[in-house]
Amino acid sequence: MINFQTHPARYRHWRLSVDGPIATLTMDVDPAGSLFEGCELKLNSYDLGVDIELADAVQRLRFEHPEVRAVILRSGKEGVFCAGANIRMLAKASHGHKVNFCKFTNETRLAMEDASENSGQHYLAAVSGAAAGGGYELALSAETIMLIDDRRSGVALPELPLLAVLPATGGLTRLTDKRQVRRDLADVFCTTEEGVRGRRAVQWRLVDEVVPPSAWEARVRARAGELAAHSDRPGGEGIVLAPLERDLSPDGVRYSHVRVTFDRSALRAEITLLGPRSVPSDVAGIRQMGAAFWPLVLARELDDAILHLRLNEPELGLIVFRSEGDPQAVIAVDALLAAHATDWLVIEIRLLLKRVFKRVDMTSRSLITLVEPGSCFAGTLAELVFASDRAVGLQGASLHLSALNFGAYPMGNGLTRLATRFLGEPGSLDEARSRIGEALDADEAESLGLVTFAYDEHDWGDEVRLMLEERASFSADALTAMEANLRFAGPETMETRIFGRLTAWQNWVFQRPNAAGEAGSLKRYGTGVRPSFDPERV
């Protein structure tokens, strides 16, 4: 089983240090620490376990260290920054693992960019040694890239010529969209094994600055100080992200506010979210509760549950969301989050909720929400209704909107879920906004377009059963593809292009014989035998 919970005291691959407003994340991968038996993580190459630690560190910096304004990413190994994803791991891993590995690494890189953009924690990649493939993609997620100007250090995306795959942790997309590298130069760069170093790397906008070895350490520290000086992060005392309360069993996972039940015969998991038991009255009360504050603990537990299902329960292709609790308590929490929207801790909680809902959006499972009497799909929790492929309401249940549904939690396309839902119906969006704070019964929710269907008690059982059984009978592959296309209407962004174009093509390439076949590049890499390519274009 893959466990996504960790702590800096248990890190095997990263060292986190904090010196006033500047933190340093040092990548020093334990070669013997792979999740895959027999895989040696040489040259700071990584697998999912390495990235789980990175994701944990990025999250802890945001919540536990409000004083940190700049984060330096650097290598703890001489002569290499990071060699990217471990090739032996990629050759051994199942297709599903490779897909979810790339998805998680992409989400982690986006979380780093979110910290730079919205949390005032600016990331600086200090590249000393070779940054190849996923190593350069890691650097690309930083706001600023510095490169030491010596004979050994450079940046490269050699996946295509070496492995017949793509740099799929956002590499191609960030080259053109973020770094704005010219298309023809990007083509040269991505088909050159040895990569680019020195002044040319700056000229092509692959890095921001090259520094001679004699001035390296001083210049890295000075640049980090410049980034920190431009941050509006307030400082103060952080909160400790305590370990989650989690009880694993063959039949599900139980947390303090999230229950996950597996129905293996029906190929589905049911996730029940429990509403708040108490609501503090002000920011001081939020700080006193710390990691136990309801929206924060709920977000962390839901995040862990979704990741657990992705990697450990691949055959449970349908997720059914339910909730239990007082919707007015959820609305009260939303009011608190809205009233104190400029407080650093409230900002981080809202940003975490945004990222978790995005993770739900990107999960390749059918998503169904059941709005029943006793449920608390209100405000923030109602985002799961709007994230679902279908949502149905039972008469007697109610749905509640809050101001947070109209801007706090944008999707990867930059729009709210309601704006995406009503893309061609601006009047419907305005009508929904006018009903903020009301208890909308199932029929009203259906009339407003907030749920797919409303049923009475007589029809509910049969209609829900038939809907779930029908979904389970369809092709999992076709459903994944259909859902990914229908969920993300509206404008394209760098984020949607990473997942909808780059990742989709990489997932296709991962199954093609030129990469994954017995004579393909992944299998023959390091054997001394050249791969044999099928020249047919599809």
Backbone dihedral angles phi then psi of residue 44, each to the nearest 5 degrees: 60, 30
Which uninterrupted H or E stretch holds 53? helix 48-64
CA distance 353 to 125: 27
Q: What percent of the chain has pLDDT over 90?
A: 94
- Provide DSSP, 231-263: -----------PPPP-EEETTEEE-SSEEEEEE
Tell me: the pLDDT tens digits for 499-515?
Answer: 999 888 998 998 899 99
> Which of 121, 143, 17, 136 is CA-nearest to residue 66?
121
Buried b (16+ CB within 10 A) or exposed e, 136-169: bbbbbbbbbbbbbbbeebbbbbbbbebbbbbbbb
Task: Specify the pLDDT at position 503.
Answer: 87
Please provide the average confidence, as pLDDT, over all residues in the chain: 97
CATH of 247-486, one of 3.90.1170.50, 3.40.190.10, 3.90.1150.60, 3.90.226.10: 3.90.226.10
**299 contacts 62 by C-beta, under 8 angstroms:** no
**129 contacts 498 by C-beta, under 8 angstroms:** no
CA distance 439 to 374: 13
> The tokens of 61 are what?
């910096």
Question: How many Cβ atoms sit within 10 Å of the Cβ of residue 482?
Answer: 14
Higher pLDDT: 391 or 235? It is 391
Question: How many Cβ atoms sit within 10 Å of the Cβ of residue 37?
Answer: 6
Domain boundaries, the chain: 8-229, 247-486
- Provide DSSP, 322-347: EEES-HHHHHHHHHHHHHTTTSHHHH
Which uninterrupted H or E stretch holds 386? helix 383-387
Q: Report whether pLDDT(519) > 90.
A: yes
Q: Report whether pLDDT(383) > 90.
A: yes
> The tokens of 529 are what?
């035998």
Task: Specify the pLDDT at position 168.
Answer: 84
DSSP state of 382: G
Buried b (16+ CB within 10 A) or exposed e, 76-94: ebeebbbbbbbbbbbbbbe
Q: Report whether pLDDT(111) > 90.
A: yes
Task: Specify the pLDDT at position 340.
Answer: 97
Task: Specify the pLDDT at position 225.
Answer: 98
Strand residue runs (E) in 407-486: 439-441, 453-455
Q: Do domains 8-229 and 247-486 have the same CATH topology?
A: yes
User: What's the pLDDT band for 538 if we cut at 50, 70, 90?
Assistant: confident
Least confident piece of the model among 8-22, 59-73, 87-101: 87-101
With 0.75 as the threshold, say if the pTM is over it: yes
User: What's the pLDDT band for 56 if we cut at 50, 70, 90?
Assistant: very high
Q: Report whether pLDDT(307) > 90.
A: yes
> The tokens of 306 are what?
């979704």
DSSP state of 378: B
Tell which CATH architecture fits domain 8-229. Answer: Alpha-Beta Complex (3.90)
Place of tokens 């149905």: 392
Task: Specify the pLDDT at position 236.
Answer: 86
DSSP-assigned beta bridge partners for residue 321? 271, 369
